[in-house]
Amino acid sequence: MIETKFRWKKLIRDVLNKIAGLKGIIGDSFSENDVIIQTPPRPELGDLAFPMFPYAKKLRASPLEIAELVSIELNKNKDSLLSAEVVNEGPYINIKLPKSNFSKYTLHKILNEKTKFGTSQTLAGQKIMLEFSCPNTNKPLHLGHLRNDAIGESVSNILKANGAEVRKVNLINDRGIHICKSMLAYQKFGKGSDPESEGVKGDHFVGKFYVMFDKWARENIDAENRARELLLRWERGDPEITELWRRMNNWAVSGINETYRRTGVSFDKVYYESETYGRGKEEVLKGLERKIFYRDEESTIWVDLKEIDLDKKVLLRKDGTSLYLTQDVGTAVIRHEDWPFDRLIYVVASEQKYHFIVLFYVLKKLGFEWAENLYHLSYGMVNLPEGKMKSREGTVVDADNLLDQLIAIATEEIKSRGREKEVKNLKQTSEKIAMGALNYYLLQVSPSKDMIFIPEESISFTGNTGPYLQYMGARISSMLRKFEDRKDKFKDGAFKPELLTVKEEWEIVKLLAMYPEETEKAAEELNPSIITNYLYNLSRVFSRYYHDNPVLHNKDPNLVVTRITLVKAVLQVLKNAFILVGIPFLENM
C-alpha cells in the first residue's frame, strides 16, 4: 500500500500543478508532501481519499471546483491511473483501486515473503540498545515489571523487524540501601534458613525479609542508621557482608530468572549495578576535577542543574557511597564502551522522568557526545480498580501469582470446552494462552498512558483479547488442515482474484496491504499498541467474513482455492504480527 499511496500522491501533485499552470498562477508549486491522503469513512466511497480543501486558497477556487478539475484531468490520462477509478465526491477525490490486480499483487507478495512480509529496512545499520525490566534483588517481580517487560520485548521485536540491530540489556539493582535492609532483616530473623529449607522461590524468600525490615523499622528508630552502616561496610568490601550479599542475591536472581523463563523474557547482556557503580564514582570524581561538579563543606559531591532550570542533586554522599544516579552514569559509560550504540532506549516508568533528565544532562556535561542519543521510553503506571498498588497494604500484584492464576483459568477453559485431547499438551497450551492474554492486555494501551489493571478483564478470553486472536489463528489452522486433507478434491482449482467479490474480502486485502505501514509506524513511535490494534481489526473483519462465507464448502474449486489463498495470507500476517507483541501462535486451543 505504501508504494500505491506514493504513486497517487505524485499523480495528484502533478495534476494540481498543471491546474495551477492553466490558471496562470505563479509561485510555489505543490510538492507531494502537500498532498493529503486518507481513507474514506465508508468503504463504498472508495479506497483512498484526497481532500481538496487545502488547495483552495492557492488555486483561488472552491474545493468543489478543484475536485471537479482534478477528476477531469486524471481521467484524461487513463493509462497512468493503473486502472483505478476516480470518483468525484464533493470536495474529495476518491480512488477505487483495481480489486483483482491489487488483491493478486498483495496476496502473492505475502505468500512469497512469508515471515519477511511487514519487515522493512528503515532502521538498517542502526545499533539500538534497549534497557528494560531492571529488577531489584530485594523483592520478586510484580505487575509493573510485567508491563515493562512486555513493552521491552515487543519494542525490541518491532525495531528488529524494521532492520535495526537490537541489543536487549537488563540492569540488576543488586546494591544500595534497600538491599542492605533485607540483609539486615535476614541477619536478625533469618536464623540461617534458605529458600530450599523453606520451600519458597528465592526471590519471594528474600522479599519476605524486606517486608520484615519495614515492619521492624517502624518500631526501631536506629534501623535506618544500621542499614546505612551496612551499606558502608558493603562498599568497603567487608568479607562477611559480601558473602551474605552474594548468597541473598543469588537467591533473588535465580528466582527472577525463573519468572523470565516463564514469561519468555530474555536479554543479550545483563549488567549488575554492583559492577558498574564503581565506574560511576570514577566518572563523578573526574567531573569534580574538571569543576563540572562541586564538593560542599561536608564533602558531599553535587551537580548544579540551574542550566536546565532545576535544583541541584547529590552525586556522591559525604561518606563516599554512591546513589542510583551515580550508578546509572557508570552503567551508561560501560555500555557504550561494550557496544557503541546509535541509540540507547531506557524502558522505565514515567515516575522516573526527572531522573533521566538529570542523568542525560550529567552525561552530557561529562562530555560524552553520545548522551544526545539516549532516550527515556516512559510508560504509565499500572493501577488497580481500587487505586494504586501499595506494598504496605499488600495490594501489589505479584507476577508469579498472577501467571499461576491465568494459567489455571486457561486450563479450566480448555477443559470446559472438552478440548483436552485436541490440544495435546494441556500445560503448554494453557501457558501460551495465559501469556497471549497478558501480553495483549498490557500492550493494547499506549505505553505513555497510565492503565487500570482489572483482574477479571485481563483473564477474560472473549472479545478484544489475546486469546480471541489466538482463536482466529487456531480456526484458520484447522481450516487449512482440512483443505490439505481434501486437496485432490480441489486439484483443478486455480487462484482467480476476480472471484474475491465479497465486501469483507476486499476489506481484508486492504488491511493486509496496510500491515507494513503499521510496523513502520510502531517502530517510529516505539508503540506496540499500534500492532495490537491492527491485529484486532484484521481478526474482527476476518471473523465476520468466514462466519458468513464458506471457504471449503463451495462447488467451484477455483473459488475454494482463491479463498484459501486469502485465508493463508491472513494467517501469515497474524503470525508475523503475533511475534511482535508476544502472542504465542497456537495450531489448536
Applying the rule CB under 7 A, the residues between 251 and 310 that interact with RNA are 273, 296, 298, 300, 310
DSSP-H helix ranges across 347-398: 353-365
Quick count: other Cβ atoms within 10 Å of Cβ 116? 12
Could you say which residues in the range 473-502 bind RNA, by CB under 7 A?
474-475, 477-479, 482
The answer to whether 394 contacts RNA (rule: CB under 7 A) is no
Q: Which stretch binds RNA (CB under 7 A): 101-109, 115-123, 278-286, 344-352?
A: 344-352
Comparison of 110 and 589: residue with beta carbon closer to RNA? 589
Q: Which stretch binds RNA (CB under 7 A): 17-25, 87-95, 184-192, 490-498?
A: 87-95
Give the C-alpha distances (Å, rounded to integers) separating 422 from 109, 426, 567: 33, 9, 22
The answer to whether 440 contacts RNA (rule: CB under 7 A) is no
Q: For strands 48-51 and 294-295, give the pairing.
A: unpaired
Bridge partners of 479, per DSSP, are none
CA distance 42 to 19: 29
Give the dihedral sign, CA 64/68/73/75.
Answer: positive
Q: Which stretch binds RNA (CB under 7 A): 14-22, 250-258, 505-513, 537-545?
A: 537-545
CA distance 534 to 519: 10
Residue 101 Cβ, how far from RNA at the closest point, in Å?
A: 22
Comparison of 290 and 482: residue with beta carbon closer to RNA? 482
Report the C-alpha dihedral over residues 381, 383, 388, 394, rounded to 10 degrees: -110
Nearest to 322 by CA among 279, 353, 261: 279
Q: Which of 3, 243, 268, 351 binds RNA (CB under 7 A)?
A: 351
Report the C-alpha dihedral over residues 126, 338, 156, 203, rounded to 10 degrees: -170
The answer to whether 405 contacts RNA (rule: CB under 7 A) is no
Could you say which residues in the range 134-193 bind RNA, by CB under 7 A?
136, 173, 176-178
Under a CB-based contact definition with an 8 Å cutoff, are residues 332 and 344 in contact? yes
Q: Which stretch binds RNA (CB under 7 A): 18-26, 145-153, 409-417, 570-578?
A: 409-417
The answer to whether 384 contacts RNA (rule: CB under 7 A) is no
CA distance 277 to 262: 30
Residue 535 Cβ, how far from RNA at the closest point, in Å?
A: 11
The answer to whether 250 contacts RNA (rule: CB under 7 A) is no
The answer to whether 553 contacts RNA (rule: CB under 7 A) is yes
Read off the C-alpha cell for 61. 477556487
Which residue type, as a one-letter code, is found at position 521?
A: K
Q: Which of 65, 68, 457, 507 binds RNA (CB under 7 A)?
A: 457
Give the dihedral sign, CA 63/64/66/70.
Answer: positive
Could you say which residues in the range 93-112 bind RNA, by CB under 7 A?
94
Residue 355 Cβ, how far from RNA at the closest point, in Å?
A: 4
CA distance 581 to 535: 10
Q: Which stretch binds RNA (CB under 7 A): 102-110, 195-203, 395-403, 456-464?
A: 456-464
Q: Which of 218, 417, 427, 503 binds RNA (CB under 7 A)?
A: 417
Give the C-alpha distances (Å, rounded to integers) separating 263 from 258, 287, 403, 527: 9, 41, 9, 20
Residue 267 Cβ, how far from RNA at the closest point, in Å?
A: 17
Question: Which residue, chain included where needed, has cell 511475534?
Answer: 579
Could you say which residues in the range 8-67 bind RNA, by CB under 7 A?
36, 38, 40-42, 45-46, 49, 51, 53-54, 56, 63
Residue 433 Cβ, how far from RNA at the closest point, in Å?
A: 5
Read off the C-alpha cell for 126. 542502526
The answer to whether 555 contacts RNA (rule: CB under 7 A) is no
Residue 199 Cβ, how far from RNA at the closest point, in Å?
A: 28
CA distance 37 to 456: 41
The answer to whether 408 contacts RNA (rule: CB under 7 A) is no
Which residue type, as a one-letter code, is found at position 183?
A: M
Comparison of 125 and 418: residue with beta carbon closer to RNA? 418
Q: Which of 69, 97, 253, 323 binds RNA (CB under 7 A)?
A: 323
Comparison of 479 and 569: residue with beta carbon closer to RNA? 479
Q: Which of 109, 317, 496, 575 binds RNA (CB under 7 A)?
A: 317
Comparison of 103 and 470: residue with beta carbon closer to RNA? 470
Comparison of 168 and 181: residue with beta carbon closer to RNA? 181
- E strands within 289-425? 294-295, 301-304, 312-316, 343-349, 374-379, 382-383
Comparison of 92 and 251: residue with beta carbon closer to RNA? 92
CA distance 210 to 214: 6
Q: Which stretch binds RNA (CB under 7 A): 15-23, 147-155, 156-164, 415-423?
A: 415-423
Q: Which of 30, 186, 210, 468 binds RNA (CB under 7 A)?
A: 468
Give the C-alpha distances (Å, rounded to integers) separating 565 from 82, 537, 555, 578: 24, 20, 17, 20
